[in-house]
Amino acid sequence: MADRAAHPEPEERPRQGRVVQLRGRRAAGGPDGASATPAGECVAAFFDLDKTLMAGSSGIFFARAAYDAGMISRARLLRDVYENLRFRLRGSTDERADDVRRRVGRMIAGVPERELRRLSPRVLAGVLPRLYPQMLERAYTHQDEGVDVYIVTAASQEMADLLAHVLAFDGGLGSRSEVVDGRYTGRPAGPFNYREGKVLSMRELALREGIDLGASYAYSDSESDLPMLRAVGHPVVVNPDRDLRQIALQEGWEVLHLDRLPRRLKLLAALAAAACVGACTVGRGHVAARAQRRA
């Protein structure tokens, strides 16, 4: 249930920054009173989740909740923290994204739907404080101008729906998993919502809702979302990685720079998170051992 490659995130909270005024066509009813789209034509804004709407990755919070619920081992949790460190410093890759999807599929195979829903409060407790206020303001400005707002993430459809509901967005597009008789089978129920998969889900939504992608917006931080950015008329890059920054400059795309932790502090934060996880899990082990001896 993590965006882009579901890689976990160290303890990083977003800081305040400047919100850049929206550029491009404006929907009817905007602050300037101008109508920018023909009557009956729908416009949407699509927001990537990890490192775009929020600082870092949502994956660590799902991993922690899954560990607390007994779904994954301490070793798996520590490996996720290590993968988070790689994600923070090097970004995601297609290979790691596919690996994460297979691993999550194995983890949820046979799990009742309600068990994953019960993880939601713990996941939200980690994600919500790390949302960029500037990006929420962007999203709500779009809505006030008559533009529908959607989360588009490689995380699960359940995560996308949950966050869209809590944030008062118009919907979410995520990766779907097969459910039979109320339990997850561990098999996908459609394309992975990553790279071109995001474009497929956006086009399906556009057909259903009558959305003009050529007049719509997309926000992302990563080169892996180039297909999503190129699918709309108004691509916006947010804290872009090196490759995406270069492409954005060449294409003349809008670039948002939000305040972020320096690279060295990110590394220290990730190492501190790993140490904390290790200490907490070892402590739980000692508590369990004492309880068994007393029994």
User: According to the model, what pLDDT value does residue 27 have?
Assistant: 33
Q: Which residues of the chain have a pLDDT value below 70?
A: 1-40, 80-100, 260-295
User: According to the model, what pLDDT value does residue 265 have?
Assistant: 44
State yes or no: is 32 an active-site residue.
Answer: no
User: According to the model, what pLDDT value does residue 21 have?
Assistant: 40
Distance CA 96, CA 21 (A): 35
Q: Are strands 183-188 and 177-180 parallel, antiparallel or unpaired?
A: antiparallel
Residue 30 lies in a domain: no
User: According to the model, what pLDDT value does residue 269 have?
Assistant: 44
DSSP string, 85-150: HHHHHH---HHHHHHHHHHHHHHHTT-BHHHHHTTHHHHHHHHGGGB-HHHHHHHHHHHHTT-EEE
What are the b/e assignments for 256-279, b being 16+ CB within 10 Å? bebebbeeeebeebbeebbeebee
Residue 2 lies in a domain: no
Distance CA 239, CA 242 (A): 9
| pTM (two decimals) | 0.75
Distance CA 140, CA 170 (A): 11
User: According to the model, what pLDDT value does residue 98 have?
Assistant: 67
Which CATH number covers residue 109? Answer: 3.40.50.1000
Distance CA 72, CA 46 (A): 32
User: Which residues have CB under 8 Å from 16's CB, separation 6+?
Assistant: 133, 134, 259
Q: CA angle, corner 255, sides to 205 and 228, nearest 5?
A: 25
State yes or no: is 225 an active-site residue.
Answer: no
Distance CA 204, CA 40 (A): 18
Distance CA 94, CA 81 (A): 19
User: According to the model, what pLDDT value does residue 115 have?
Assistant: 94
* Residue whose tokens read 């599929």: 105
Residue 61 lies in a domain: yes
* Residue whose tokens read 């967005």: 169
Number of folded domains that form the chain: 1
Residue 37 lies in a domain: no
Q: CA angle, corner 169, sides to 168 and 173, nearest 5?
A: 135
Residue 188 lies in a domain: yes
Q: How many CB atoms lie within 10 A of CB 222?
A: 25
Residue 29 lies in a domain: no
Which residue range is the domain that position 211 belongs to? 44-294
User: According to the model, what pLDDT value does residue 232 have?
Assistant: 98
What single DSSP character describes residue 217?
Answer: E
Backbone angles phi, psi at 29, to 5 degrees: 85, 10
Residue 22 lies in a domain: no
Q: What is the largest CA-CA distance in the chain?
A: 73
Residue 243 lies in a domain: yes
Task: Tell me if residue 220 falls in helix, strand or coil.
Answer: strand
Distance CA 237, CA 222 (A): 8
Q: Which of 48, 148, 221, 225 is catalytic?
A: 48
112 - beta bridge partners?
Answer: 183
Q: Which of 3, 32, 50, 212 is catalytic?
A: 50
